[in-house]
Homo-oligomer: A and B are copies of this chain.
């Protein structure tokens, strides 16, 4: 029979994108929507790197090497050296976005039914790649009360089974913005040594650390074979549409295996490799400017949030996300209501319900993720909307629960 695969049915629809029709309807009504729901920065892609693409001079748009152009990989060696990661170009496989690096990592190191442990809340698309690779995500919970710090070792050990093959972290974290300390990274190292696990480290937001220094998984010593880093230029240079990432590891068997997956899909996109290569030559202060901008936004947003009655938002140490707890009982319903039924001075705000970032059912129901990807003035207006919305929502919620109780 013509049927959809089980995995196709299991595949989660994007929790971030499922509210899109409501946003579109709101816009059709003439409401301005502030998008704090997705990690698409408004920061301009540096002109010099866009120009590098404008000035390409080939006549045939050829396949690149399956692992990416050697010239680009050599440049990346320079880039990684600057952030204290010593590798050679053969330890880098250029991928189609960080997404493909994650998928290739899962596919190469885990078989159907194998398990990865991921501290939750976590980047929702890990679920999608896990379904594609037919592996099992075992979440262990981190809590808003202590700013989403790494769960204690015992929690990892409770989750480990004979099928556990890896731990996945995103550092700094999407969606929490949490930046793992050196001490926490060392703790992870002890676990992966003791239980012989891979550590998959998604370091897409490496440059955006506001409190303390970024400790890469690649900085950990004596665990070379354990570490598989997933990387991307998407956020770093505001170049999301380029679809250029990388899988980096010193583990030769993993590299050889990933390379076979890379060969099957022929090559990563050529144009954006030019952009990525040019990006390594950006002046060293490029990130200072961007970081300062994000920090200003974070400071504004987090202080506005914490000033709202009943709202708690831990100060994120990195990335450009924060999770806030709101005085609501159902974040999905609230986020939909914001788009469907609310506006303030002709404006509203789109947030991501945190439920989509938890693997454990019913967690995150009072929480939302906010991406501070808009400029300070837009963010401020978005916060006005949210403040007003929470005020109005009190009575809506009362009504809703009344309806529920009497039905």
Contact = CB atoms under 8 A, between A and B. Distances in A.
Interface of A: 1-9, 11-14, 17, 40-45, 50, 53-56, 59-64, 66, 96-97, 99-100, 103, 107-112, 114, 125, 128-129, 132, 134, 165, 196-198, 225-226, 238-243, 251, 253-254, 257, 260-261, 263-272, 275
**Most chain B C-beta atoms within 10 Å of own C-beta, residue among A8, A13, A66, A109:** A8
Contacts of A40: 62-63
A96 B45 contact: no
A132 to B, nearest CB: 6
A226 B2 contact: yes
Nearest to A11: B260
Contacts of A12: 260
B4 A63 contact: no
19 contacts: A1-B196, A2-B197, A8-B261, A11-B257, A11-B264, A12-B260, A40-B63, A44-B59, A45-B59, A60-B238, A61-B241, A63-B241, A96-B243, A96-B269, A128-B260, A128-B264, A241-B267, A241-B269, A269-B269
A261 B132 contact: yes
Which are the 8 A-B pairs with shortest beta-carbon distances?
A: A128-B264, A241-B270, A271-B271, A8-B257, A14-B263, A269-B269, A99-B265, A11-B260
Nearest to A124: B264
